[in-house]
Every structure is written in C-alpha cells, then in structure tokens.
Structure 1
C-alpha cells in the first residue's frame, strides 16, 4: 500500500452495497461520491430528503453512472432509525459497508426526540442503534463486511462522565462533543472485541477520523448560537488551516474499502499531527482503549436505545 492512498487505489466496489449516514454534505457527500465512483451502490441516509435529492443530483453530475438510493434517517429519533433499518432489510439482501458518519459538533444544548443530549444522542446512540439493527444483514452478507465509525481527534480531550452523560447538571458544548467522539471509539473497539468473541470473523469494526477538514459541520454550532464572530473565526480557520472535505473523507473510504484493514484499527490522516494528509493507521488515546468504560457504555447504550446486539 502506498503512503499516498487515494480513491483510485480502492478496490472495485461493483456489486457491493454501502450505507453512508449524513450523505448529503461534507464528508458524507464526498465519501458517497468516491464509493459511487468505485462502483458501489450507495444508500444515502439523510435527515432531509430535499437536501439529499440535491446532493444526489450533484453526485450524478460528477459520476453519471452512480448507483444511488436516497432514504430518510434522523439519528436524533430512534424510531426513525428503526424504520430506516426495517426499510433497508426489506429492500436489500446484502450490506458490505456501514459508514457511521453523520454528526453534530459543539452546538448549544439540545435534546433528541427521546430526550438525550443531542451530541451524545446523534453521534453515538443513533449510530449504536443503527448498527445493532443492521448487524444481522452485515453478518449474513457473503465475504467480509465492515462497520466504520467516524470519530475525531477531539476524542483525545474527551472524558466519559457517566454521572452526567446528558449534560443535565453541567453542559459544555466542546466537552459534550469530545465525550461523544470518545464514545464512538469505545463503541468501535468494543464491537470488534464482541465480534471476535462471537466468532464473527467476517464482520470487522473500524474507527476513523478526518483530521481537520473544512465542512459545514463547523458552521452549525455558531449558527445555532447566533454568534457571527465565532462563525467568522471558524471560516477563517478553515481557509487557513483545514484540508479539503475530499481529503477528509479519504480515511472513511480507506477504512471501508482498502485491503489489509484489520478490525479495531483507527484510520486517519498521516501528515502533520494527523490533521492533514493521506490516510493510514493512527493511534487513538489510552482512554479510547479502556475496556471497563467500553463495557459500561455498551450496557448503558443497549438500555437507552432498547437495541440488544446478542453478541
């Protein structure tokens, strides 16, 4: 494998099906376009069908023979997650890659439909439930299948506050974001351990992160808070420091498709401070490998979502 891995190095994905959450913009859009370019049938799981249709139109302009299906998925509503999974299993017999990509970042405190703090609810619990609902189809698909969960370098500053997971007593938007991104990796690694113990060798779980990539994700927090100065600061930082969304999506596509990726890996940019550059294996924080926290988070997540994996 070359150090400058690009989408052209990805194996042919013809005949394979991938689900990408948050596929209408940013990293999800770029990953959708790349996977379609390599021949995959991509299910674009989006909260807004209207924005999803515009994104699908843009993908088709870039990749005229793209094979796309658009479907509604609101990760802030566990009923929407359940309906999406039921629809998918009714329409598709196979799932080769599940890209748990969608997320919210550093927003004012909000709650999901079920009353969970929004960042923890969307970034972790929504994807935990989605993966659990789709696990059977992943297990029944011939050959190796992958669950790729998008984290962030911010996980390194995250802490699991099990006494106040939902930020009801004290809420810090960046602290909540860091906690949700740490939860993503605790989940990804624990899923891999449980798959291995269950003898499910054909399903692998991989974590990834985009480095510092310029996307709309950075805009939403300042926009929701009505802070023009923060919005301006984010825009200037993106222009000066960030790599493109296309480069930021490469670790996800690498994790989902590249040969030789092992379960339990953490994929990200390999350039300066793992913030930029081509994808490869990174090291995540010691806290992300805390098996006691991972087990506790898993048991709590099953309880909160009412989704039991059975492995």
Structure 2
C-alpha cells in the first residue's frame, strides 16, 4: 500500500480535534485535514503558538477552517475547560497526538509524573470528556474515530502498577515507553468497549516511525545534554523521515475508509521507521486484556473521568491486531 497525503478523502463537513496541533506531526496532520475540507479544532497548550501554526497553515491553505482552543494536557482543569467549550458540538475524529518524550522527572498540575500524565492520562481524560460529542457524529455511512498516537518505543514498555508515577525509581526512557504502551492498551480497550456497546465508533492506535520533529530535543535540552542533543540532530538529519511523512499513519487512521477499529498502523519501510502506512502488529504486552482493564480502572480513578460504556466481556483480542 503506497498511501500518501494525496489519498486523503474529502473531509468536507467533518470536524476533527487534534491535540498538539501547533508543531510536528500534529501540525502536518492538521494542514492536510484542513486542505481536504475538515474543520480542525487545534487543541494547543499555548494559544499563541497555536495561532502562529494556524497562520502557517493558511499560507498553504487560504480557506482552512481552523479554531485554536487552549488545552493543556498536563492539567485536568484545562482539559475539562476545553471539553466544556465544545459542549453540544459533534466531533467526527479525535486525534490524541500531543506528547512529551524522555524528559527529566517532573509532575503535572495534578501531581502525575509528566510523561504518564500528559501522554496517557491527559488523553484518557480528554477522550472520556468528549465521548458524547464523538458518538453524536457517528452515522450509518461513516463512523466516528479516536486515533491515539503511540510510538515504536511502546515495545520496550511495561506498566508498573506499583510505581506508575516513577516515585521510587525513574528512568526517562522507561517512563516514556510505559506511557506509549499505555496509549496502545487504552486504544484497544476503548475499541473493545465500543464493540460491546455496538456503537458506530472506532478506536485506532498508530505510530509515526522516526520523524524529524522537535520532540526528540526536549529531553536533552531540559537535561543540558549537549552531546545527546547533537546525536539527536544527526539521527534526525540522516535517519528520520520528515514530519509530513511521519503524519501519514495518523492521517490514514483518521480518514481512510478501510481502517479497522482495534488496529495498529505505522510506516512499513525500513525497520518500521519510515515509509507509507500499513497495518502492523504491536507488542505482545499491548494485547493483555487484564492489564488493559486494570489500567483503565486506575486511569479513571486518577483522573475522575468515567466512560458511559459497558465493560467488555473477556474474548478475542482486536481482530486486526495481527499479532506476531
């Protein structure tokens, strides 16, 4: 499958929320969605940077229908405020894209370890608070979709329920991998609950491969690690694909008609780091339903966000997972 941005179907009349839409993959996904007629709500921590990004997009797509709305995934109060501002609106797609990677240990406004708090708990809360908006958009012709952006690093991840917040032991890469595994577990569990409720909605996980964005530099910048920052620059220059190409799995999962709920999509080229999107297998741990249910319950307890969805009965994993 040699799918490109030129294959994005007409999005006229659809409304999409993209978190972290002001930079990197989120910015490029927003650009292509707007180019194809979608109304895109750009959920950004900084509205100033969001407006700058919107201006950049309008330079390419003059008639782009964009709304910049503040949403800080490190603050449950901000997430709730964002959801309140969208009350009553139908949403066709939610792209859970924003994230942080391999940063020194810090905590969100609510006391969560930042990587777990932003990458997983923030998106868990946001999805739950927007669920009514998303379910209102599904119809007989087209389902509503939740696309959660993970990483190939999820394969290294383990969910440490005894130390989720890294309070006793913290490694920045282990914490990142845990948060990215949590993304996939959440996406699959949400799909199982959609199926149990027989809803016209789909939950999909994706990874961008190795894309050249600023995400890789935040950790070494915060740590003051000049050598690591230089190494990241070299890898981004020599190995990485562009942010535009890194956004293709997200765009495919959000728009392609043959996407299946419960699937995992990523680049199909060299070591799954680059190339056109394809359906892939995620890690064995990501298919553990008991871990997924436990993570779901813990996430609900920590965020105070509940979903009006039935708990799935034990059964087969998502059909499209194509396990190794």
TM range (shorter): over 0.9
Match for residue 118 of structure 1?
114
Match for residue 176 of structure 1?
175
Secondary structure class of the residue paired with 1:74: coil
Q: CA RMSD in A?
A: 0.7
Q: How many Å separate the matches in 2 of 1:301 and 1:82? A: 16
Q: Does 1:213 align with 2:206?
A: no
Match for residue 97 of structure 1?
93
Q: How many Å separate the matches in 2 of 1:8 and 1:39? A: 13
TM-score under structure 2 length normalisation: 0.94
Q: In the alignment, which of 67, 70, 79 is matched to residue 69 of structure 1? A: 67
Shift of 1:142: 3.8
Q: How many Å separate the matches in 1 of 2:57 and 2:226? A: 31
- 1:223-234 alignment runs, 5 A limit: 223-234=221-232
Q: In the alignment, which of 115, 123, 132 is matched to residue 128 of structure 2? A: 132
Match for residue 46 of structure 1?
44
Q: In the alignment, which of 4, 10, 13 is matched to residue 12 of structure 1? A: 10
Q: How many Å separate the matches in 2 of 1:226 and 1:51? A: 24
Match for residue 163 of structure 1?
162
Match for residue 193 of structure 2?
194
Secondary structure class of the residue paired with 2:130: helix
Match for residue 78 of structure 2?
80
Match for residue 257 of structure 1?
255
Match for residue 150 of structure 1?
149
1:274–1:282: 8 Å Cα contact kept in structure 2? no
Structure 2: where are the runs of 5+ without partners? 310-324
Shift of 1:216: 0.4
Q: How many Å separate the matches in 1 of 2:233 and 2:7? A: 32
Secondary structure class of the residue paired with 1:89: coil
Shift of 1:10: 1.4
Q: How many Å separate the matches in 2 of 1:76 and 1:256? A: 24
Q: How many Å separate the matches in 2 of 1:242 and 1:113? A: 33
Q: How many Å separate the matches in 2 of 1:44 and 1:21? A: 6
TM-score under structure 1 length normalisation: 0.97
Shift of 1:284: 0.3
Q: How many Å separate the matches in 2 of 1:142 and 1:240? A: 42
Q: How many Å separate the matches in 2 of 1:285 and 1:305? A: 26
Q: How many Å separate the matches in 2 of 1:236 and 1:136? A: 44
Q: How many Å separate the matches in 2 of 1:245 and 1:85? A: 28
1:26–1:216: 8 Å Cα contact kept in structure 2? yes
Shift of 1:8: 1.5
Secondary structure class of the residue paired with 2:94: strand
- 1:245-284 alignment runs, 5 A limit: 245-284=243-282
Q: How many Å separate the matches in 2 of 1:19 and 1:188? A: 17
2:45–2:71: 8 Å Cα contact kept in structure 1? yes
2:138–2:201: 8 Å Cα contact kept in structure 1? no
